[in-house]
């Protein structure tokens, strides 16, 4: 039998076939032949009757919407109409000789007309929208039937006798229900709800929360649309839609967070970069956290860290989403491979056509039945969702989608209203329970600071505010600069087990903290940073034992502290900074942190000269070890060392081990960070240096000032203390550089620095 291959010729109409080829096909001798018109662009076959002697016809991969004209091919035995857009095949009933029929990947909802084709042996109707079982029991010659990936419901054993002929040996009815696809939405919805709650608890920016809730609603609306209106769509199309929504959660939303975080405080960073060029290389004087907008910084940290994995809960959420995505993409890959297997490439089809007769073609996509089983014993699909149940399930998804938006909006409004009274709570969790209290502000970051106090004698007392916000137990960050605290930090802070950053900085002329509970940090297992400075009357510090996540600790200008508290095991410690501690004669044993320690900052501390670093040999020429010379115990023992020196052998226990000395020597190489004499101060002159001059600055930063003895200066708040006249040309140059870079300035007070309108 002759075979004519016209596949992949971009044929739109049959009339485009050249007359010479058409004459060659139809020689007029009545001989049967095979014709391949696959992978073209045919939209109609109304005139297919000119090929009246065709025996095998391949029209797969075209754009056909109907089969008008096919009834003229009375001798047709094999027909391939797969991968078209055909909605009805009723005219095929007029092809009495048809034996092999492929109609997969179309838009068919019924194939009842197949019962009128008595010669049928092989039928492939997979990947359609068939919702009703065709009664094919009368087709006595039918051996292979593929109805997989349709919308068929279950059939009873008694009904199988009217559905399938006794000769049928290969039957495929897999994936004929939407239940699995709907069930796949359930864990995804649960994970989305948990993720939204997690983002709300983290205090993610409200605009990002609205975006996430909108994605949840979109997912719900897609599910509703599919269940209610496209319930008979193929499994592949449904999974593809879900996968696109999954990609929005997995790729688009994290990318949005990154872009938002990147654009949060670019203007502030410009000033920080300039200051880092002029200030000495001391980490804590140039720390961006102390200079940038507190709210923007905490939002940036929260948004960015929401993408990271910190706990087992984060691992569960992110891996669960990934697992669901993998299941869907694995399903898509399986379906595509199955389609490829059932629809071979044109080259493979040509080879099969040359080697095999139509009656011996291989249909590997259809699984054979066991020899001893009949079709009625084949595994049946689960019952497909009824119309009423489908409507109910669809409405559930619709209500859920609307509920996501409503709940998110109410939670944000209620939480913002609750925290409106506390503007220094720069970040808070969003939470709302119907019928619950709306007065509780679940503050996450409390930042109250005055970087340039005009009146250092009358700082704002924030003790009661801190106690109230800490009572909710949600605080993660505390930053207090130049604020008065009534004696001690409130006991309510012990409830804040998620506290990560503690920064409490007083003012050099104020009393501030006078005591801290020794067990203050015991319950704060998540602490990352501790910064305590300018508390002249604080006699001791809480123990840091057990702080497994502590990374950075800074103690500065604590005039009454005599020893650094017990540190214990700090497996994550990276930075230890000690500055302006006039009574501390020894340093903690840092040798145990050798594997994690990145910097040891020690300045203006008697430990630099007390003999701690030199086997007990006190260096009295170092400013930190100056003072009145005399007996250590008040008796004349020949000792003329100041009280800041270590007296041997009585205080030999204060000396470090060789391992500690070896480690400290590595950091001592950088004198700008370790025991520089120029940065040290004699303890006996501290009070005299706190002189009171005429306040010409009056709390105004960058005002021009001068002194007969010091020369020109500028009103500035060094170490974020009281604004006073500072005689430093480098600081003046720094401010000029900020103005030149476009930072905001006062046209009146800073005109002398180059600020113009």
Q: What is the DSSP string of 442-461?
A: -EEEEEEE-SS-S-TTSPPB
Question: Apex CA 341: angle with CA 335 and CA 343, to 5°?
Answer: 100
Look at residue 589 in the predicted model and tell me its pLDDT: 87
Q: How far apart are CA 201 and CA 474, in angstroms?
A: 9
Provide the CA 592 distance to its chain's centre, in angstroms: 35
Residue 282 in contact with residue 673, Cβ under 8 Å? yes
Residue 517 in contact with residue 493, Cβ under 8 Å? no
Strands 711-716 and 724-726, bridge-based pairing: antiparallel
Q: How far apart are CA 609 and CA 683, in angstroms?
A: 13
Q: How far apart are CA 572 and CA 683, in angstroms?
A: 33
Q: How far apart are CA 550 and CA 276, in angstroms?
A: 25
Residue 445 in contact with residue 470, Cβ under 8 Å? no
513: DSSP letter = B
Burial annotation 318-337 (CB, 10 A radius, 16+ → b, else e)? bebbeebbeebeebbeebee
Look at residue 428 in the predicted model and tell me its pLDDT: 92
Residues found in the chain: 757
Count of C-beta atoms within a 10 Å radius of residue 744: 10
Residue 747 Cα distances to 133, 750, 756, angstroms: 84, 6, 6
Instruction: Answer whether 0.85 is exceeded by the pTM.
Output: no
Count of C-beta atoms within a 10 Å radius of residue 464: 10
- For residue 161 the two structure tokens come to 């006798």
Contacting residues for 133 by C-beta, under 8 A, at least 6 apart: 152, 153, 155, 159, 163
Contacting residues for 596 by C-beta, under 8 A, at least 6 apart: 571, 572, 573, 574
Burial annotation 572-596 (CB, 10 A radius, 16+ → b, else e)? ebebbbbbbbbbbbbbbebbbbeee
Look at residue 67 in the predicted model and tell me its pLDDT: 92
Q: How far does the chain reach from its first CA to its final CA, in angstroms? A: 93
Question: Apex CA 271: angle with CA 422 and CA 729, to 5°?
Answer: 120
Handedness of CA 152, 155, 161, 165 (dihedral sign): positive
When computed from its CA atoms, the radius of gyration of the chain, rounded to whole angstroms, is: 41
DSSP codes, 203-244: T--HHHHHHHHHHHHHHHHHHHHHHHTSTTS-HHHHHHHHHH
Q: What are phi and psi of 161, to 5 degrees?
A: -65, -30
Partnered with residue 707 across adjacent β-strands are 711
Q: How far apart are CA 571 and CA 549, in angstroms?
A: 7
Q: How far apart are CA 415 and CA 419, in angstroms?
A: 6
Look at residue 291 in the predicted model and tell me its pLDDT: 65
485 burial class (0-12, 13-18, 19+ CB within 10 angstroms)?
buried
Residues in the chain predicted with pLDDT less than 70, given as ranges, are 1, 27-29, 153-162, 175-183, 230-238, 264-269, 280-294, 310, 335, 338-390, 452-457, 508-511, 627-639, 671-672, 683-695, 719-722
Alpha helices in 93-205 (DSSP H): 160-163, 179-202
CATH superfamily of the domain spanning 2-176+344-377: Ribonuclease Inhibitor (3.80.10.10)
Q: What is the pLDDT of residues 96-118, one digit of tens each?
A: 999 999 999 888 888 888 989 99
Burial annotation 607-625 (CB, 10 A radius, 16+ → b, else e)? bbbbbbbeebebbeebbbb
Look at residue 29 in the predicted model and tell me its pLDDT: 67
Strands 443-449 and 425-428, bridge-based pairing: antiparallel
Partnered with residue 375 across adjacent β-strands are none
Q: How far apart are CA 731 and CA 721, in angstroms?
A: 15
Residue at token pair 């049967």: 32
Count of C-beta atoms within a 10 Å radius of residue 396: 15
397: DSSP letter = H
Classified as helix, coil or strand, 653 is: helix
Q: How far apart are CA 407 and CA 76, in angstroms?
A: 62
């Amino acid at each position: 039998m002759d075979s004519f291959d016209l596949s992949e010729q971009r044929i739109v109409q049959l009339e485009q076939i050249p007359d010479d080829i058409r004459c060659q096909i139809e020689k007029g001798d009545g001989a049967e032949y095979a014709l391949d018109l696959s992978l073209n662009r045919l939209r109609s076959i109304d005139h297919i009757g000119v090929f009246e002697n065709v025996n095998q016809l391949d029209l797969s991969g075209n754009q056909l919407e109907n089969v008008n004209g096919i009834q003229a091919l009375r001798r047709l035995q094999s027909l391939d109409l797969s991968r078209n857009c055909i909605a009805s095949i009723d005219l095929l009933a007029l092809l009495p000789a048809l034996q092999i029929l492929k109609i997969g990947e179309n838009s068919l909802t019924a194939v009842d007309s197949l019962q009128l084709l008595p010669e049928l042996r092989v039928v492939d109707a997979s990947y359609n929208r068939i919702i009703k079982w065709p009664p094919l029991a009368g087709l006595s010659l039918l051996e292979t039937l593929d109805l997989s990936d349709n919308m068929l419901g279950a059939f009873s054993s008694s009904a199988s006798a009217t559905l399938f002929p006794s000769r049928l040996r290969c039957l495929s009815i897999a994936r004929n229900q939407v239940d699995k696809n709907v069930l796949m939405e359930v864990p995804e919805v649960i994970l989305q709800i948990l993720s939204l709650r997690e983002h709300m608890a983290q205090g993610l920016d409200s605009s990002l929360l609205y975006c996430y809730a909108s994605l949840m609603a979109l997912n719900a609306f897609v599910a509703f649309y599919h269940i209610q209106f496209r319930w008979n769509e193929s499994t592949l199309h449904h999974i593809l839609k879900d996968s696109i929504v999954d990609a929005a959660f997995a790729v688009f939303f994290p990318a949005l967070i990154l872009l938002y975080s990147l654009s949060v405080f670019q203007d502030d960073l410009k000033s920080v970069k300039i200051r880092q060029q002029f200030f000495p290389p001391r980490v804590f004087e140039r720390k961006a956290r102390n200079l940038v907008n507190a709210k923007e910084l905490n939002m940036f940290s929260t948004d960015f860290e929401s993408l990271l994995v910190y706990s087992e809960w984060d691992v569960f959420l992110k891996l669960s989403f990934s697992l669901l995505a993998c299941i869907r993409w694995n399903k898509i890959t399986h379906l595509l491979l199955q389609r490829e297997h059932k629809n071979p490439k044109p080259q493979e089809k040509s080879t099969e056509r040359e080697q095999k007769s139509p009656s011996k073609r291989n249909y590997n996509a259809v699984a054979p039945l066991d020899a001893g089983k009949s079709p009625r014993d084949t595994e049946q699909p689960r019952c497909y969702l009824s119309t009423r149940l489908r409507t109910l399930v669809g409405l559930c998804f619709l209500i859920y989608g609307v509920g996501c938006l409503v709940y998110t909006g109410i939670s944000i409004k209620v939480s913002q209203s609750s925290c409106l009274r506390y503007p220094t709570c720069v970040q808070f969790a969003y939470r709302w329970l119907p019928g619950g209290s709306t007065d509780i502000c679940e503050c996450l970051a409390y930042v109250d600071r005055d970087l340039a106090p005009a009146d250092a004698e009358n700082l704002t007392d924030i003790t009661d505010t801190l106690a109230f916000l800490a009572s909710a137990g949600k605080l993660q960050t505390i930053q207090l600069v130049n604020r008065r605290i009534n004696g001690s930090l409130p006991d309510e802070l012990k409830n804040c087990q998620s506290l990560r950053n503690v920064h409490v900085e007083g003012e050099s002329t104020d009393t501030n903290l006078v005591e801290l509970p020794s067990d203050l940090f015991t319950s704060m297992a998540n602490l990352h940073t501790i910064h305590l400075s300018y508390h002249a009357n604080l006699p001791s510090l809480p123990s840091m034992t057990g702080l497994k996540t502590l990374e950075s600790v800074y103690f500065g200008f604590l005039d009454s502290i005599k020893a650094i508290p017990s540190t214990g095991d700090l497996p994550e410690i990276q930075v230890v900074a000690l500055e302006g501690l006039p009574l501390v004669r020894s340093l903690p044993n840092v040798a145990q942190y050798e594997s994690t320690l990145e910097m040891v900052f020690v300045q203006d501390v008697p430990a630099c000269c007390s003999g701690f670093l030199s086997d007990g040999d006190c260096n009295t020429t170092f400013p930190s070890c100056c003072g009145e010379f005399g007996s250590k115990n008040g008796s004349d023992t020949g000792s003329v060392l100041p009280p800041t020196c270590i007296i041997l052998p009585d205080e030999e226990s204060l000396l470090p081990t060789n391992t500690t000395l070896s480690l400290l020597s590595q950091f001592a190489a950088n004198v700008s960070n370790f025991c520089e004499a120029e940065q040290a101060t004699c303890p006996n002159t501290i009070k005299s240096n706190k002189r009171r001059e005429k306040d010409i600055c009056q709390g105004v930063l960058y005002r021009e000032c001068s002194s007969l003895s010091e020369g020109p200066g500028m009103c500035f708040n060094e170490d974020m203390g009281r604004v006073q006249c500072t005689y430093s040309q480098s600081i003046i140059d720094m401010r000029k550089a900020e103005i030149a870079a476009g930072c905001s300035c006062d046209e009146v007070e800073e005109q002398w620095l180059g600020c113009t309108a």
